[in-house]
Amino acid sequence: GLKIATIGGGSSYTPELIEGFIKRFKEMPIKEIWLVDIEEGKEKLEIVGALAKRMIAKANLPIKIVLTLDRQAALKDADFVTTQFRVGQLAARVKDESIPLKYNTIGQETNGPGGLFKGLRTIPVILKICEEMLELCPNAWLVNFTNPAGMVTEAVLRYSNLKKVVGLCNGPIGIEKGIAELLKVSVNRIYVEFSGLNHMVFAKRIYLDGEDCTEYVMELMTGSAGNTISLKNIEDLGWEPEFLKKLGMVPIGYLRYYFQTSKMLAEQLVAVENEGTRAQVVQRVERELFELYKDETLAIKPPQLEQRGGAYYSEAACNLICSIYTDKRDIQTVNTQNKGAIADIDPMSAVEVNCVITKQGPIPLVTGELPVSIKGLVQQIKSFERTAAEAAVTGDYATALLAMTINPLVPNDTDAKKMLDELLAAHVEYLPQF
C-alpha cells in the first residue's frame, strides 16, 4: 500500500492535505500517512494529528495516520515524502520580515534578505532529508513545499544525488482560477502557459477554447472588473494599467515587490505599525486555527484556514502525487529541472513551468525565450538563488554577502553587509554551517 511521509506535519495546512487525500482515495488508495515534526512542534502535531484522524474516521476510510518525531521511521519505505516544515518556526519569519525594514528594504518571507535567510536555514535540513531518503526510501518522490521552494529545489538539483524531486507552489493554480473567474468561464476551458521561477512566474499566454485571449485578459485585468488574481498574503495596490497591458502577461503577486518596490515598502511600514508583520498576523490566525482544531466535534477542514496564503495548497500537492502514481500524463505547473524548457535559463536549474506529469516524473514543456521585458530580472533572480544555495551549502560568509548584494531588492553593498550580519546573529541557532 501507499505510504506518505509529511515532514512538518504539525503545520496548520495539514487538514488541507488530508482533505485532498480523502477526495482522491479511489484513484490513490493510501494506506499510511506519517506526520513528522520535531520537539518544538509536538503540541501542534498532536492537535492537528487528532483532527486528521477524525477526518479519516468521518470519511470511513482505511487510512492509518501515524504521528511521530522519528523522521527516519517515517521515511522508511515511503512512496512520497512531502515537506512543509519551517526551520525556526514563525518566530524566525518575524525576524526575516522585520530586520530588512530597518534598512528600508522589503521584509518578506521568500523574497529579498528574508527569502535568503529562509533558504540558508532550510537547505541544510532538506539536503539531510534527501540523504536519508536515498538510504531509507530510494524510490520515493520528494514533493517540496518548504519555501523558498525555487531555491530549495535548485539546491536539491545541484547538491544532492536525489533526482526524484519536485517543488510546488499554489500560485499558478490560483492564477489559473483567477483568470477563469475574470473570463467567467470554467477552468477546463482555458489553458495557461506559465514561464518563470517560483514566486517569479508569469502567465505568458492564455487560451480560451484554443484561441489566444491573452490581450483580452490583460484588458479585463486593467479594466473595471478589477483584479481578481491575487494572493491572501500580498497587498493588492493595483497596477499601472498601461504598464500591465504592455507587459502583456499576468505576473504572480510577488512581482509587486519588484515592480512596485517603494509603494510596497511604504505599505509594509504602515502595516507593521498597525498589525505587525505578516508573520505576526499569521501567528494570530494560527492560534485561532489551533483552538478550532482542538474541538473534538470538528472533523472537517475549517473555512478559517482560508485566511492563509496557501489556498489550493492541497490541490497542487495531491494532484501531483496522484498523477505520478497513476501515470496520468496531465499538465501541471511545477518546479523542475529546466532541461531547455526556458531557453534563457541554465538547463540544470530549477524553473516553474508547465509539465506533463508521468510516472517517471514531470516532463517540462518548451516555452522558449523569456520575453525581453522580464528576461533580465528572471535571470538575475536565478543567479541570486544559485549563489544563495551555494552559500547555504558551504556556509561561506563572502558567498552569502554576494547573494545578498546581488538581490535586486537590496539597495547597496554596505546595507547588504549590515543586514547580513544582523540576520546571521538573529538566526545563529539555525545556521550551524556559518
The torsion of the CA quartet 353, 357, 361, 366, rounded to 10 degrees, works out to -40
Angstrom distance (rounded) from CA 233 to CA 116 = 19
Q: Is residue 278 involved in binding ligand G6P (CB under 6 A)?
A: yes
- Segment 108 to 127, residues that bind ligand NAD, using CB under 6 A: 125
| 355-358: long-range contacts, CB 8 A cutoff, minimum separation 24 | 355/331, 356/329, 356/330, 356/331, 357/320, 357/323, 357/324, 357/328, 357/329, 357/330, 357/331, 357/332, 358/323, 358/324, 358/327, 358/328, 358/329
The nearer residue to ligand NAD, 278 or 401, going by C-beta atoms, is: 278
The nearer residue to Mn ion, 140 or 169, going by C-beta atoms, is: 169
| Least Cβ distance, residue 103 to ligand G6P (angstroms) | 22
With CA atoms as reference, report the closest residue to 308 among 84, 142, 38, 120: 84
User: 3-class DSSP state for residue 195?
Assistant: strand
- With CB under 5 to 8 Å by kind, the binding choice for 338 among ligand G6P, ligand NAD, Mn ion, none is none
User: 3-class DSSP state for residue 382?
Assistant: helix
Which of 3, 308, 386, 427 binds ligand G6P (CB under 6 A)? It is 308
The nearer residue to ligand NAD, 35 or 56, going by C-beta atoms, is: 35
The nearer residue to ligand NAD, 128 or 246, going by C-beta atoms, is: 128
The nearer residue to ligand NAD, 183 or 250, going by C-beta atoms, is: 250
| Least Cβ distance, residue 171 to Mn ion (angstroms) | 5
Residue nearest to ligand G6P (CB): 309
Q: Is residue 40 involved in binding ligand NAD (CB under 6 A)?
A: yes
Q: Which one of 86-94, 248-256, 376-384, 386-394 is the stretch in contact with ligand NAD (CB under 6 A)?
A: 86-94
With CA atoms as reference, report the closest residue to 200 among 349, 4, 27, 47: 349
- Segment 143 to 172, residues that bind ligand G6P, using CB under 6 A: 147, 169-171
- Choose the catalytic residue: 159, 191, 207, 254: 254
- With CB under 5 to 8 Å by kind, the binding choice for 278 among Mn ion, ligand G6P, ligand NAD, none is ligand G6P
Which of 21, 34, 80, 85 binds ligand NAD (CB under 6 A)? It is 85
Angstrom distance (rounded) from CA 362 to CA 355 = 5
User: 3-class DSSP state for residue 280?
Assistant: helix
- With CB under 5 to 8 Å by kind, the binding choice for 377 among ligand G6P, ligand NAD, Mn ion, none is none
Binding characters for ligand NAD, 357-396, by CB under 6 A (x = yes): ----------------------------------------
CB 142 within 8 A of CB 160: no
Which secondary-structure segment (H or E) carries 378? helix 372-394
Q: Is residue 169 involved in binding Mn ion (CB under 5 A)?
A: yes
Residue 368 DSSP one-character state: B
Helices within 192-329 (DSSP H only): 214-222, 241-247, 256-259, 261-275, 278-293, 313-326
| Least Cβ distance, residue 198 to Mn ion (angstroms) | 6
Q: Is residue 98 involved in binding ligand G6P (CB under 6 A)?
A: no
Location of C-alpha cell 487528532: 50
Grid cell in block for residue 59 = 470519511
Q: Is residue 168 involved in binding ligand NAD (CB under 6 A)?
A: yes
Which of 11, 144, 233, 367 binds ligand G6P (CB under 6 A)? It is 233
Angstrom distance (rounded) from CA 172 to CA 8 = 23
CB 419 within 8 A of CB 113: yes
| Least Cβ distance, residue 311 to ligand G6P (angstroms) | 7
Note if 13 is an active site residue. no
Collect all residues with Cβ–Cβ distance below 8 Å to 168 and sequence separation of at least 6.
Answer: 143, 144, 145, 149, 316, 317, 320, 334, 335
Residue 166 DSSP one-character state: E
| Least Cβ distance, residue 153 to Mn ion (angstroms) | 12
Active site residues: 254
Chain residues binding ligand NAD by CB under 6 A are 7-8, 10-13, 36-38, 40-41, 44, 84-87, 89-90, 125, 145-147, 149, 168-170, 310, 313
Chain residues binding ligand G6P by CB under 6 A are 147, 169-171, 231, 233, 278, 282, 308-310
Chain residues binding Mn ion by CB under 5 A are 169
